[in-house]
Structure 1
Amino acid sequence: MNVWDLFVAIVLGIVEGLTEFAPVSSTGHMILVDDMMLHSKELFPASVANSFKVVIQLGSILAVLVVFRSRFIDLLGLSRRKGTGTVRGPRLKLMQVIVGLIPAGIIGVLFEDYIDEYLFSVETVLIGLVLGGVLMIVADKLRPRTPAADTVDKITYKQALGVGLFQCLGMWPGFSRSGSTISGGVLLGMSHRAASDFTFIMAVPIMAGASLISLAKHWDAFTPEALPFFIAGFISAFVFALVSIRFFLKLIQRIKLVPFAIYRFVLAALIYIFWF
C-alpha cells in the first residue's frame, strides 16, 4: 500500500461523503472520478474494490447517526425525556420508518442479482441521472403550495409508504435514492426539510443492512495490506458526509430541488463526453 493508493482512497471517500445523501447520484460521481481520473479498478483486485465501496458507505452511515443521534435515540424509545411530564406533540414513530422501508426491501430481495448484473453500466447511470433530474423538477413544480407535513414529525403512514415506493426508483443506478425519496416526499405533501430528514433516517437501516451483507460476502478482502486503504476511505467518507449532511439540510430549504436537477444534467453531459 503506497501513498498513491491512500490518495485514491481519500478522494473516493470524499466523493462518497459529499454525494451519498445529496440528490445528485453518488454512483454517477464515482464513475466520473474513479473511471475517468483515478482508474482504481486497475489498481486493486475486484474483491478489494467491492469491499471498499461498502466501507466508505459505512462511513457515510455513521455520519447520519451522528447528525440524527437524538432522533434515533427517540425512535428506539431510549429518550430520557420520557416520563418527565412534559407534553409532547406528534413524533415520528419507528413503525413509520419501517413502513417506508418495506417496498424497497421487497424489491431488493427479489431483484438484487438482476440489478447488479444488468443495470450497473454507464448507459443506465446516464438514463438515471436524466430521469431523476426530470422527477426533481416535476416535484418542485407540482408540489402543494402549503405542505401538509412541514416537519418530519407530521408525516403520516400513507406518506411514509408513498416515499418508500418512490425509494424503489433509487435502485436504478444514477437515479439517486435520496433524489427519489425527497422528490416523492415533496409531491406527497412534505416540506423539503421534512422529506430530507425522513430520507436520511430511512437510509441508515437499509444501507447498513445491505453493507453488512456485502461485507460478509467479501470478508476475505480485509487483509493487513488493504486495511490502511479501507481506513483512509472510511475516515474521509465520514468527515465529508458529516459536513455535507449539515450543509445540505440548510441548503435544501432555500434552493429546493431544481438546481440539483440542473447539476445532474451537467454531470450526465460530462460522463457522456469523457466516457464516449
Structure 2
Amino acid sequence: MKINIMDKLFSRVEERGVVCLGLDTALEYIPAHVFEGRCEEEAIFQFNKEIIDATLDVVACFKVQIAYYEALGLKGLMAYSKTLAYLREKDAIIVADIKRGDIAATATQYAKAHFEGDFEADFITLSPYMGMDSIEPYLPYMETGSKGVFSLVRTSNKGAEDIENLDTIDGRKVYTIVGDKLTEMSKHMISDCGYSPIGGVIGCTHVEEGREIRKRFNNMFFLIPGYGAQGGKACDVAMYLNNGNGGVVNSSRGILLAYKKEGRDKEFALCAREESIIMRDEIKSEVESILRNN
C-alpha cells in the first residue's frame, strides 16, 4: 500500500524536525575544490549530493528551486534532474519550487512534467492567482494521496502587500479568500495526520497575523519561508506550527553558505549539517516554550 505523502511528511517532521533545506544552488555557492576535474553540471550535483548525504537525517524535506537550474540551460536542468533522482534514491521528500500558475491543458502538462518522469517531485509549489481552475489539473495526483502541492497564500516578500493583503468588499483580505478557497477545495482529502495535500506557502515575516492564520487554516500544512536571511526568527516560526508540526520551515542560503562563516570550504557539507541542527533545535525550543506557557 502506497503511503500518503502528507502523512509521510508529517511523520518526517515528528522524527527529524521542521527544517526544509533549500537546494537553491548557485554556482557562486560552490567551493572551488568541488569544481576540480568537474564540469558545471557535475559540480552542482556533487555539491548537492554531499549536502544531502550530510543532512538527510536532520531535515524533514528538501526544496529544490528550479530557477537556479533553468538559468544555466540544459546543463543546469541535467543537474536538477540528477539531484531529484538522488533524493528519490535516498527516500527524501522533495518539494519542487516551480510556482506554476496556468490553467486547463497547460496546467495538465505542468502536472505531468513535475509529478512524473525526469523532474518528478513529491510536492510542487503553485500560484493560484489565475483562480482555482489553475489548481484543478493537479487534483488527480493529489486524490490518490501520492502527491501534494504548496500554493502561495501569504508570502514573506515585501510585495505581498500589493495584492495579498488588500481588503475586499466582504472584509476579508485577498490572501484569506485564497486560503479559504483552497481549504474548501481540499476538505474531502484530509489524511490521517489531519492535513490535506493542498498546503499553503505562508511566510513567517508577518508576525502579527501568525496565530490567526494558523487557527483559520487548521487543516493546511504550511511551507514557511522567511526564516533567517529574510528576517524571520525561531520565535516567529513557532506560532505558525501546531505543537511543533503542521509545517516545514525553509532555509536555503543560511544552510548552503554556513561554511563561509568560518572559512571551512572543505567542510561545507558538515557546516550545512551543523547549521540545520542549530535551526531545528532553536525552533523546537521556541515551540516547547509556547506549550509550557499555554
Q: TM-score of the superposition, structure 2-length normalised?
A: 0.27
More strand by share: 2
- Of structures 1 and 2, the one with the larger relative CO (CA 8 A, separation 6+) is 1
Q: TM-score of the superposition, structure 1-length normalised?
A: 0.29
